[in-house]
Structure 1
Amino acid sequence: MTADEHALAWQAQSLLLDYPDEELLHRLPLLRKVSTAVPGPVGQPLATFLEHVLRTPLMDLASDYVETFDHRKRGSLYLTYYTYGDTRKRGMALLRFTHAYRAAGLDLAPGELPDHLAVVLEFAAGHPEAGSRLMCEHRAGLELLRLGLREAGSPWARVLDSVAATLPRLRGREEDALARLIAEGPPEEEVGLEPFGGLR
């Protein structure tokens, strides 16, 4: 893929992994153009998902989004969750995202966690090297999310298929990390994450 194709794909994926609203419907013609402008393994899953969006009332789409991403552990869009769960180590991992954004001169809105996949993809569209590195560091978690969506029969699995097609294939250590995540799940140690919620 070219740099421009990566940027187009990541921006489209970011929009499709955000909460669906009227703005998404207005962007559908542009998103459909993107799905045909990027290589097949990236574009075809997007086209399939966009067909689902066109067929589904917005209220149903929004309800399904909440059910998919807010109520299932294996449906979390927060990348550090898969590796660190709700442990203190996750707070340090969140700071890595924050520092990457600040180094690029970007601030997130207060209360927004920096590891949300839609946020990371939007960042990657404008800062491909740093954004790709962040996603590759959490490649096993991304793959677990994709598998979880597939198992649930979620249409959003197609968007994750598209994301995966923009990244290098899983390698030895990443495959091992994925196997551990599947077997054990994220670590558990409830702590407050409020101090890491914003970049300001």
Structure 2
Amino acid sequence: MNRALVLQAAAHLLAYPDERFWARLPLIREAALPYFTDFIGRAEELGAGELAAHYVETFDLRRRCCLYLTYYTDGDTRRRGESLARLKGRYRAAGWELCDELPDYLPVMLEFGALDASGEALLREHRPALDLLERSLTELGSPYASVIGRICAILPPLTAAERRTAETLAMSGPPAESVGVYG
């Protein structure tokens, strides 16, 4: 198995299903078979409109199905801003400059993992969030669960500490911050 190819293909499959997504799908089918056969078949079965609606409903409207991985550990807090700045610094150190996406957007992290030696370590650091995302997508019956499952399968298994972190995140959700609110 070519890990870089799997990560690159997963990055494309987890992007919003616009015209570029559909144009790349035949290439991904050829290059990444059999890893994403189930997802690709389901995407084609749903079609462009229904898959786009599912994407928005799943990733934009459900807190537990967020593709911005620092959200799981930092929520919408000031700490998340610090995490995002650290990620940007890591990308810069590797010669990467981001244009349009936040640095914790999973497709960006997957591309980094595919193209830079330090990228897989970055994904491993967010392993509890990936586990929670996979679980949430599986419970939802989303075809995207198989894509996240493939990513998790090529990373080392969760450690006991990471499993506890994932369980805590599953029970409590992302942290919240009340700035300037007095009780």
TM class by shorter chain equals: over 0.9
The residue type equivalent to 2:88 in the other structure is T
- Do the aligned partners of 1:86 and 1:190 also contact (CA within 8 Å) in 2? no
Q: Residue 18 of structure 2 aligns with which residue?
A: 21
TM-superposed deviation, 1:190: 6.0
Instruction: Return 5+ residue gaps in structure 1 as ranges.
Output: 192-200
TM-score, scaled relative to structure 1: 0.85
Which of 100, 107, 111 is 1:122 aligned to? 111
The answer to whether structure 1 residue 150 and structure 2 residue 130 are counterparts is no
Identity among equivalent pairs (%) = 47
String of CA shifts for 1:140-197, please: whole Å, max 9, x gaps. Answer: 0111011111111111101101110110000111011011111211111167xxxxxx
Q: 1:189 aligned to 2:177?
A: yes
Correspondence 1:88 to 2:78: yes
Separation in structure 1 between the aligned mates of residue 30 and residue 171 of structure 2, nearest angstrom: 40
The structure 2 residue matched to 1:176, chosen from 138, 155, 164, is 164
CA pair 68-190 structure 1, distance change in 2 beyond 3 A: farther
CA RMSD of aligned residues (A): 1.4
Contact 2:114 2:120 in 1 (8 A): no
4+ residue runs over 3 A deviation:
none
1:161 match: secondary structure: helix
Relative to 1, partners in 2 of residues 1:94 and 1:190: Cα closer, same or farther, differing over 3 Å?
farther
Q: What's the TM-score, normalizing by structure 2?
A: 0.93
Corresponding residue of 2:69 = 79
8 Å contact kept, 2:43–2:143: no
